[in-house]
Amino acid sequence: MSDSLSLRDITDFAEALAKEAGELIRREREESTLRTDYKDQTELVTHADVLADEFITNAIRERFPNHRILSEETMPDLTQAEHLDTPLWIIDPIDGTVNYAYGHPQVAVSIAYAERGQVQVGVVHAPFPGETFRATKGEGATLNGQPIEHSGATSPRQSLFATGFPYTKDNLEPLIKRLDAMIHQCRDLRRIGSAALDICWVACGRLDIYYENVSPWDFAAARLIAWEAGATVGHFGDVPAGYPADLWGRDILISAPEVWEPVRSILRTASGYE
């Protein structure tokens, strides 16, 4: 444990950072002219993304100078997830940037803390509705301080699912096949636009199923929250040997426990895995 702090202390620190960053991005959208740009010619980024990222990473560096940081905007080096010797912070300053730019409320600050490749702390703060999801490993998950749990869904046919799509559109066919299979065998689809909130909504029962290919900063915190809320978390594809499953973002599947295996089978078949 770092500097004699308990995991709960670290969770409190992460929550305070997430809320301050949330206030920053809320204020930027409401009081400033929104400045936008593109990274890799396709993915929208705002000035607020960078400001919030720098605020969070600077605060972590000051408090924990020996820790590593994996953050979407300022330090997006995915190889950080492969080094297990030093504690790692995984940060998305604005998950749901397109929502943010369009004035939608489904926007979140996501902060996770991992030791030896296993996420121990997760905080997802949605500043516009004022909702804070948090979990400390082994202590359950909460929304604004109240315990949460998954929906208890028992059948894919009666389940509401969420997924997302990449900014690059050159390899959509496998995703469309999965979507076609799921939409025919589940109740309906919701496209929320924030992976962190998708997963947290599974954790609190607003959704039954979530699957997607995403980056660690999109899901690391929310995955722990869902796990601590009793959801089943895993992958419908294979995780490379030696790579920490908590941080592997391809073929993620998170759902109420009783529908996880049947949905995994649907997605594997649609993907040509079996």
β-strands 131-136, 141-143: how paired? Answer: antiparallel
Query: Is residue 62 packed enough to be buried (19+ CB in 10 Å), middle (13-18) or exposed (0-12)?
Result: exposed
Contact 205, 149 (CB under 8 A): yes
Strand order of the sheet with strand 209-212?
A: 188-190, 160-162, 209-212, 252-255, 232-235
Task: Tell me, rounded to whole angstroms, the distance of Cα 59 from its chain centroid.
Answer: 21
Amino acid at 25: I
Q: Is 218 annotated as a binding residue?
A: yes
- The answer to whether 94 is a known ligand-binding residue is yes
92 known ligand binder: yes
Ligand-binding annotation for 209, yes or no, is no
Q: Is 3 annotated as a binding residue?
A: no
Contacts of 107 (CB under 8 A, 6+ apart): 25, 94, 95, 96, 97, 99, 100, 126, 127, 128, 194
Q: Which residues are annotated as a binding site?
A: 72, 92, 94-95, 218
Q: Which residues are annotated as a binding site for Mg(2+)?
A: 72, 92, 94-95, 218
